[in-house]
Homo-oligomer: A and B are copies of this chain.
């Protein structure tokens, strides 16, 4: 049962009925963030119904004790998890001594809007309290892109049928827990609570990791839009600071509170400066006022959209879906801080503990690369470069030597955060994605300097890993890679996964290619890296011995590469012949049954062909697509986008559109019945790719050339997207009858359109 309560709108998410069944889902969907902090759409006032509270600060984590049923050697004893941070949005409200709580009121005229164009969340409603008092509430909040430690809230209450007293009790509460904590453990220790006039803060630190965070608030008031001053009562509890203000109203009056809040953390400040910095942030915000801050926010989002928007005409739900994806990606990561990355749930939930998966390299980098300046994607690469030491340690724990690196499956700080042996130890293809991310970046930006200065060390360490991880099979007279899990996690501990073997071979070849290039063009850097990594030419010959003789399972009769050894021993029954009652198989079948079935969770052989499409003929692509797609259940959010793009590239637009629909509104329509836990942020980048690389057919080749092959689904009137290609802003417009390219920067640029080389010198260029 998918949800279907979000009102279609081109620029906003809108909910117009209060339904307590939807509260948690909406808390996820209407989340706000600015790449540095984020907030689920929890209510400001008290809510006694079911809710999932979440405030998050980028880079703040806690190493929780690993829990498994049966310990396997190699599991990390502790792993980082996303932490719920002190509550900054809270305002208890009383109307004549009765607390406002939507769970106990009669609620009408409810409306919630997440305005994606301008980056704010609003909510309005009429509530009749248990006392009979009736109020109309309008509230709006945002987290500032411009001043990225600050959030602002306005909260207006109109007395509809009474005269009396309205009590505002804004607070900061550091006594919060995680939903997924063991036995309600607290992860925060409170160090200091500072009270003041209309402003105050709490200094707290995380246990073990000792991140220090100051959470400050400052408040102001108005009556009927006129600023007023109210006398303050202060309550300091163990972990909470609350100010209480009372205002007398007559029927028809509107009383307002403005709350400004700020997190400052020891990631950016000396501990002793944290409180002052946070208090200064809220003081400045208060000085500027809510309207001025909001205007800046609108301008910031205008800038983001200018190089990232996708416009779809003829399908409002498609338009809303794609913008929601772009919006959430930008709320999660803006690329200004190489210590941060893109968690699978962003700032919309806790699930998946750690922050960074191979999703970043395989799915997110293309989006950030094409919609922002090159340094944003570079920061994502630097994140991994900075964690190379830990990746080498991680490989050492598993028995590798000589500087071989295995990047973790899930991580916050470079350490492994996952603990299923078949994933943690065996889903090693992720290591290839690290190199693919670099390759992709270099092609797109032509910034080979990144390889020279940083990337090469990562590439060498990973080539070493693959060299050691393969072994020679006398039976096959080839090198094999045994005991892996591919991207298709519905197979575990298999031998010679095509995708993994292919990436391993490619990583080694790319490593040698980069080494040669650096040797000839950057001899000093070459010496530095060679000396730092203690690499001898002889060692690279051994790598090539492996890559030159890598084994790939192939079936002559079907003329396809096999996902892994023995794949054809399975019963090959297409998904469409599976009874609906058996789907999704990950909920209906026991794990062993899933494993021995032929069903594929997400692209695996096809993931490799997606990455290296130019290495395969169109016939090969078609043959493999036709063999594997019918066996694919797409039970990973990362699956449909790859299939959509491949289908478009082999001229199968109906299939491409079918797969696009599965990815575009995954969360808005809650296909997987789990949006209450948070949104699927990383797969949103896949949706973006489905339009730009899929329908738009955008490709960038090793030689740096850009090409397009625009197609359009029958269901749409037109679509357009904008990309930043090495500083040139190109807009591509495609309707059912025409195709136009706009060069918004005016720089001359050579590219291919539908395999024809063209020059893009001015505003409007080609009509097809």
Whether the pair A473, B587 counts as a contact (CB closer than 8 A) is no
Which of A142-150, A358-366, A591-599, A689-697 lies on the face that meets chain B?
A591-599
Chain B proximity of A550: nearest CB distance (Å): 13
Partner of A592 from B74, B565, B596 at Cβ < 8 Å: B74
Partner of A74 from B66, B474, B590 at Cβ < 8 Å: B590
The answer to whether A482 has its CB under 8 Å from any CB of chain B is: yes
Partner of A421 from B67, B482, B592 at Cβ < 8 Å: B592
Whether the pair B67, A69 counts as a contact (CB closer than 8 A) is yes
The CA-CA distance from A569 to B565 in the complex, in Å, is 11
Within 8 A of B (CB), among A164-213: 183
The answer to whether A568 has its CB under 8 Å from any CB of chain B is: yes
A422, A494, A586 pick with most chain B CB within 10 angstroms: A422
Chain B proximity of A652: nearest CB distance (Å): 27
Whether the pair B69, A476 counts as a contact (CB closer than 8 A) is no
Give the residues in chain B near A67, CB-CB below 8 Å: 67, 69
Within 8 A of B (CB), among A572-613: 586-596
The answer to whether A493 has its CB under 8 Å from any CB of chain B is: yes
Partner of A593 from B398, B589, B596 at Cβ < 8 Å: B398
Whether the pair A493, B492 counts as a contact (CB closer than 8 A) is yes
The answer to whether A116 has its CB under 8 Å from any CB of chain B is: no
A592-B68 in contact given A473-B569, A475-B568, A566-B495 (Cβ < 8 Å) = no
Whether the pair B69, A587 counts as a contact (CB closer than 8 A) is no
Within 8 A of B (CB), among A546-563: 555
Whether the pair A471, B566 counts as a contact (CB closer than 8 A) is no
The CA-CA distance from A480 to B566 in the complex, in Å, is 11
The answer to whether A618 has its CB under 8 Å from any CB of chain B is: no
The answer to whether A571 has its CB under 8 Å from any CB of chain B is: yes
Whether the pair A482, B596 counts as a contact (CB closer than 8 A) is yes
The answer to whether A73 has its CB under 8 Å from any CB of chain B is: yes
The answer to whether A72 has its CB under 8 Å from any CB of chain B is: yes
Give the residues in chain B near A68, CB-CB below 8 Å: 68-69
A69, A471, A476, A587 pick with most chain B CB within 10 angstroms: A69
Mask, A487-500, CB within 8 Å of B = 1, is: 00000111100000
Whether the pair B74, A591 counts as a contact (CB closer than 8 A) is yes
The CA-CA distance from A62 to B439 in the complex, in Å, is 56
Chain B proximity of A484: nearest CB distance (Å): 8
Closest residue of chain B to A474 (Cβ to Cβ) is B568
The CA-CA distance from A596 to B483 in the complex, in Å, is 6
The answer to whether A701 has its CB under 8 Å from any CB of chain B is: no
Whether the pair B471, A571 counts as a contact (CB closer than 8 A) is yes
Whether the pair B474, A590 counts as a contact (CB closer than 8 A) is no
The CA-CA distance from A624 to B749 in the complex, in Å, is 69
Partner of A483 from B471, B480, B495, B595 at Cβ < 8 Å: B595
Give the residues in chain B near A73, CB-CB below 8 Å: 586-591, 594
The answer to whether A536 has its CB under 8 Å from any CB of chain B is: no
Closest residue of chain B to A588 (Cβ to Cβ) is B73
The answer to whether A756 has its CB under 8 Å from any CB of chain B is: no
Partner of A72 from B397, B398, B421, B591 at Cβ < 8 Å: B591
Mask, A55-82, CB within 8 Å of B = 1, is: 0000000000011111011100000000
Mask, A401-438, CB within 8 Å of B = 1, is: 00000000000000000011110011000000000000
The CA-CA distance from A296 to B90 in the complex, in Å, is 76
A569-B476 in contact given A66-B69, A589-B73, A591-B421 (Cβ < 8 Å) = yes
Whether the pair A590, B482 counts as a contact (CB closer than 8 A) is no
Chain B proximity of A492: nearest CB distance (Å): 5
A183, A483, A588, A594 pick with most chain B CB within 10 angstroms: A483
Whether the pair B471, A420 counts as a contact (CB closer than 8 A) is no
The answer to whether A570 has its CB under 8 Å from any CB of chain B is: yes
The answer to whether A472 has its CB under 8 Å from any CB of chain B is: yes
A482-B570 in contact given A399-B589, A421-B592, A593-B399 (Cβ < 8 Å) = yes
Mask, A367-407, CB within 8 Å of B = 1, is: 00000000000000000000000000000011100000000
A73, A183, A425, A480 pick with most chain B CB within 10 angstroms: A73
Chain B proximity of A730: nearest CB distance (Å): 44
Give the residues in chain B near A493, CB-CB below 8 Å: 422, 492-494, 595
Closest residue of chain B to A570 (Cβ to Cβ) is B482
Give the residues in chain B near A420, CB-CB below 8 Å: 69-70
Partner of A590 from B425, B471, B586 at Cβ < 8 Å: B425
Give the residues in chain B near A422, CB-CB below 8 Å: 492-493
The CA-CA distance from A592 to B72 in the complex, in Å, is 9
The CA-CA distance from A483 to B595 in the complex, in Å, is 7
Given contacts A73-B587, A74-B592, A399-B590, 4 further A-B contacts (CB under 8 A): A398-B593, A471-B570, A471-B571, A480-B569
* 10 residue pairs, one from A and one from B, having the closest CB atoms: A74-B590, A425-B592, A483-B596, A475-B568, A68-B69, A473-B569, A72-B591, A482-B596, A421-B591, A398-B590
Query: Residues of A with Cβ closer than 8 Å to B?
Result: 66-70, 72-74, 183, 397-399, 419-422, 425-426, 471-476, 480, 482-483, 492-495, 555, 565-566, 568-571, 586-596
Question: 6 A-B contacts, Cβ less than 8 Å apart?
Answer: A67-B69, A472-B571, A480-B569, A482-B566, A482-B570, A482-B596
